[in-house]
Structure 1
Amino acid sequence: MTRPLLLAGALAGPLYVGIGTVEAIVRDGFDIRKHSLSLLANGTNGWIHSAMLVGTGLLAVAGAIGLSRSFPPGQRSRWAVGGLLVYGAGVAAAGLMRADPALGFPPGTPDELPETISWHGFGHVIAGSVGFIGLIVACFVLSRWFGRRRSTGWSRFSLVTGIVYFLALVGLGAGSGTAVVNLGFTVAVILGWTWITMLMLRARAEGSLR
């Protein structure tokens, strides 16, 4: 089952980015410079975004399980696998708890951040944040893991992905709703999913992670 699990993990990123991009383009009133992708869970077609989060999160969990079986004997990194499991579970959990409407989306919502946050809005933020931290940990741990095996390219790729995601997460917490922060976080999300997809495909193609 290792290869199908890795394939599932590899598909998560393209589905997330692809569906999210289409939603951002076709949903009335959505502006990626102003709105976070999480707001797409609101409105008439918000269920599509929620289902996408749950589905891609579970695919990422499957990929993490496959990756855990792909390490050479005695060399499995529990922190890396655990970080990816947390990330996938966090994305899926965030899909089950809708972000609160804000900043004029969906249309008719006041053009400002809500004064109070609902339980599901709070849960969405916590689940997403914990998941993002899991991905950052996995990136840093695998950067060191690849570095020890003189796989310089993958070590740097993992390190850069972790740093970019960390900076984007800090920026999101400090200035959500601004164009620079939103676009920066969007770039980080795309980079993170790209890293996961390529990691899964590498392990699947070579038969093991090395």
Structure 2
Amino acid sequence: MANNVVERPAPAPVGSARTTRALLACGVVGGPVYVAVTLTQALSRDGFDPRVHRFNVLTTGDLGWIHKSNMLLVGVLTVLFAVGVGRVLRTGRGAVWGPRLLGLNGVAYIVGGVFTADPVAGFPPGTAPEMVQTTWQGAVQNASRGAGSLVLIAASLMIAAWFAAAERLDGAWFYGAAIPMVFVVLTAVGFAIGGNPTAPAFLVAPWIWITALAAHLYRREAARRDDTPAGRLNTA
């Protein structure tokens, strides 16, 4: 007589599960830290006007090391988060390139933290228009910001494809459309305020998406661990 008992895959070792959650936690904390430090710098440094200047010029001047360190930190955290996402997605549509593109976004921030943007008129204080010039370091720094945005959009589409393949259409819609929707809303706010309308959108929109994904996957992995016999015993 055939045995109809369905065998479930063995749960991941405790150490492996903890490591995965630690990697996902990097994505939870990275965005808020980056945005908070960037906004603090933007509002406190003399001569910087977020309505006019791009945030990457905070890497210039005597205090430029703060924003460069901020970019290096969030870049490393994003790469570690991408490793955690790869552990969670494992197989299926988008499971390979989603985490890889997330990791490339982290690498783009690391590159942005290594190089210094070119000064612009009025920042750092005392920079006159005739003093502004393009250097190769500034060009690489600017290119890293554009590349980071492109690979993150591509990663969001890959992650959305993974959710769609898993028949989680709510997740597919959210992770596929969140970045464009938040960007449009924040750009509209920027137009209302005046000045550079896309500055808040470029700063905040990517990190809302990454933080939401990280929190979602972290809760998913924690619940999955608690659903094992050992997890139920530990939470009883």
TM-score category (smaller protein): 0.7 to 0.9
Consecutive unaligned residues in structure 2, runs of 5 or more: 1-18, 188-192, 225-236
Letter in 1 for 2:150: I
Count of residues in correspondence between the two structures = 199
Distance between the aligned counterparts of 1:106 and 1:94, measured in 2? 18
Q: Structure 1-normalised TM-score?
A: 0.84
Indicate the residue corresponding to 2:206 in structure 1: 192
Distance between the aligned counterparts of 1:36 and 1:88, measured in 2? 19
Displacement of 1:158: 2.1
- Give CA-to-partner distance per residue, 1:60-119, whole Å, 9 cap, x none: 0000001100115556611111110110000111110010000311111124793x4112
Equivalent residues in 2 for 1:1-210, closer than 5 Å: 1-71=19-89, 73=91, 77-111=95-129, 114=132, 116-163=133-180, 182-207=196-221
Letter in 2 for 1:22: T
CA distance change for structure 1 residues 107 and 33 in 2, over 3 Å: closer, same or farther?
A: same
Contact 1:41–1:98 (Cα < 8 Å) also in 2: yes
Consecutive unaligned residues in structure 1, runs of 5 or more: 172-178
* Aligned alpha-carbon RMSD (Å): 2.7
Distance between the aligned counterparts of 1:152 and 1:92, measured in 2? 33
Distance between the aligned counterparts of 1:192 and 1:15, measured in 2? 13
Letter in 2 for 1:151: R
Q: Structure 2-normalised TM-score?
A: 0.75
Indicate the residue corresponding to 2:228 in structure 1: none
Q: Percent identity?
A: 31
Contact 1:143–1:154 (Cα < 8 Å) also in 2: yes
* Deviation larger for 71-80 or 183-192: 71-80
Q: Which protein is bigger by CA-based radius of gyration?
A: 2
Displacement of 1:30: 0.9
Displacement of 1:153: 3.2
Q: Highest relative contact order (Cα 8 Å, sep 6+), 1 or 2?
A: 1
Contact 2:76–2:106 (Cα < 8 Å) also in 1: yes
Displacement of 1:180: 6.2
Indicate the residue corresponding to 1:176 in structure 2: none
Indicate the residue corresponding to 1:174 in structure 2: none
